[in-house]
Structure 1
């Protein structure tokens, strides 16, 4: 299980990407109108207006799992893991959607959340990359998910900077 934390400015771009993939499946949501993609985007946008000083109000976290764990990862289990992840990362009291994709050989889902919570306060991103590593490791241990053995599992052709340089150095 790997989580990649991305912060952005455009709910339209992020949600259109996440929901626009072929066979994308909306697994869970909170605090958004689900009539269509546009209503989901508008729901997120309206809440972000409660905190106009926050430049990057879009939170996007793809959670990717090892293909060895595919048989364990039903939609229900994936939602449970995503919600536990969000709680441990202190992503609470805010709007979110959880969407599963089937476009890669490894199972994965996307969490899109509003960094402006339901009271108009910013959800802290302090030490989020460090917390992400701790939380994903704890969830892998708790649920018996596969730990990567090492570099032999890396898709080198998919690496981008700065990860590409890190791979070459280490």
Structure 2
């Protein structure tokens, strides 16, 4: 059982819909109403609701509450008028909708049982009924009542009839189908990103420009945008991280392998005296980050990073970045995110540094070797990601 909730201003318009005034195919019939609502013509009943909604000193903009209850077709003959009334009464109480006027009808124009309830969002004492966290409370209560009364529990979004969806809701399910398909066929973040692009979607990470934290993940096609949480709990950042790996940890492991490999090459081409100087300038990675501790500072904003990128890459990276209204957070693509996550390592490891070698007391790598050791990511999620040299 599910319940969809809408609020509006027109009591008579809502009443005409739920009673099927202009759609006889609904075969609507009244199965429950409050004591203060007589079964008269729609215009008179709507006026009674309006009188209740204007009681007290409230200034409510949308006094009409419309609750649509749908039961799965597999519940068959179980969804009797009596059971529907019982479940709806309990749902209203748990939602905090008490001491108010309402009317409920049942429709028979689909292959599943459903009923519509209209109520005043101002109670009989003139108090406005709270809608705070209404969506979350409704989902939790519907799930509870479905289990309590032994109703059929759907397998989830896969059973939703896409052909009946419209507008943003239809787009949401199209996104869901595409992203779930991409997730199933991908083994790491890079494959996931590539698969999404093939579906016409872009992956964006919600990045905090102040503290460098990842706040979530969104998917966009340029017109519509949905967060992973809006699509499904399996598509939240935490759930995707569980499959593809923690991006900060992947960064840390890759930097570790690159740094230690670089040090080994310097040791290989130098004598004992030169190696001592190298150890002083390039201490062991685990001493800089003991116990695998990730750097806590040194993160930068996307604008700051973009201003330092080479001009030849500027256009590509700008397309991977969009600031929030207050510029405190950004939505960034995977490639740009890796550069952001690298920033805290730049100073302690001197990434990107260079200069002559003789005055430092050791033999440096030649230009060809330095090019091999320019840092590049291996995006694969494995127990020990390996740095891949450029060949």
Same fold (TM over 0.5): yes
How far apart are the structure 1 equivalents of 2:5 and 2:54?
22
2:119 aligned with 1:113: yes
Match of 2:17 in 1: 17
Deviates more, 1:91-100 or 1:145-154: 145-154
Is there any run of 5+ residues in structure 2 with no aligned partner, and where?
177-391
Find the residue that maps to 1:5 and give its secondary structure.
Answer: strand
Encode CA deviations 1:50-75: one digit per residue, 9 max, x unaligned: 15511100000100010011210111
Of structures 1 and 2, the one with the larger relative CO (CA 8 A, separation 6+) is 1
How far apart are the structure 1 equivalents of 2:7 and 2:99?
18
Is there any run of 5+ residues in structure 1 with no aligned partner, and where?
none
How far apart are the structure 2 equivalents of 1:71 and 1:137?
20
- Paired residues of 1:33 and 1:43 also in contact (CA < 8 A): no
Encode CA deviations 1:110-162: one digit per residue, 9 max, x unaligned: 11100010011100000000000001000000001111113332111211233
Instruction: State the shift of 1:37 in Å.
Output: 1.8
- Paired residues of 1:27 and 1:100 also in contact (CA < 8 A): yes
* Runs of 4 or more above 6 Å deviation: none
Task: Pick one of 85, 89, 99 that aligns with 2:95.
Answer: 89
- TM-score, normalization by structure 1: 0.95
How far apart are the structure 2 equivalents of 1:35 and 1:159?
34
2:30 aligned with 1:26: yes
Encode CA deviations 1:83-112: one digit per residue, 9 max, x unaligned: 111111111000001111111111000111
Find the residue that maps to 2:132 and give its secondary structure.
Answer: coil
Provide the aligned length of Structure 1 versus Structure 2.
170
Q: Which has the higher helix share?
A: 2
How far apart are the structure 2 equivalents of 1:165 and 1:102?
28
Larger radius of gyration: 2
How far apart are the structure 1 equivalents of 2:169 and 2:153?
19
Match of 2:83 in 1: 77
How does 1:28-43 map onto structure 2 within 5 Å?
28-30=32-34, 31-43=36-48
RMSD: 1.3
2:44 aligned with 1:44: no
